Amino acid sequence: MKKITIILAFVFFFLGISNLANAQCKQQLVYTCASLTGGAIYLRDFNTKLKKATSDEDSGTKWTVVLNKGTHYRFNICTPDGFEDKVVLTLYDSQNPEKSSPYASTWDRTSNTDISSFDFVCQKSGMYYVSIRFKDENEDKKTCAVGILSFVGKNK
């Protein structure tokens, strides 16, 4: 009986550690991604779990952020190994939709190139949207991703 109890204790311990490691995916990515801002000041992070989109939902998440005119911002995206070219962070507003003409994105549709960050100098104060999604809506794997918003400086 003691042997079964000890074996079960070990099994539950290792199951708990594996779930904890999975839950820490996003927090570890936040720390890593925040350190890659190139001297910019960390303002906010956007972290999400990504899964295959169903017919009535998108594959990712969108957030609202208020940006100020004349301010230079930097946006970074970080993903676990193997997903670098599968996830995109997009900045847009209500007049420049996400799918057709966003302000900036970590994926250039015309040249089909990926970047890990982009800078944005805000020309008009207001509400903007940040989304993190799979590039391919048919992606069938799950992952997590983190976006970082940083302050670079004020433009004169």
Report pLDDT digits (tens) over 11-24. Answer: 555 444 434 344 44
In the chain, how many domains are there? Answer: 1
Amino acid identity for residue 128 in this structure: Y
CATH of the domain at 45: 2.60.120.380
Q: 45 with 61: CB under 8 angstroms?
A: no
DSSP state, residue 40:
P
pLDDT bin (cut points 50, 70, 90) of residue 138 is low
Helices and strands, number each (H, E), in the chain: 2, 10
d(CA 3, CA 6): 5
Domain that holds residue 115: 2-154
Helix (H) or strand (E) segment spanning residue 148: strand 143-154
The most confident of 17-26, 44-53, 114-123, 130-139, by mean pLDDT:
114-123
- Does 123 score more than 80 pLDDT? yes
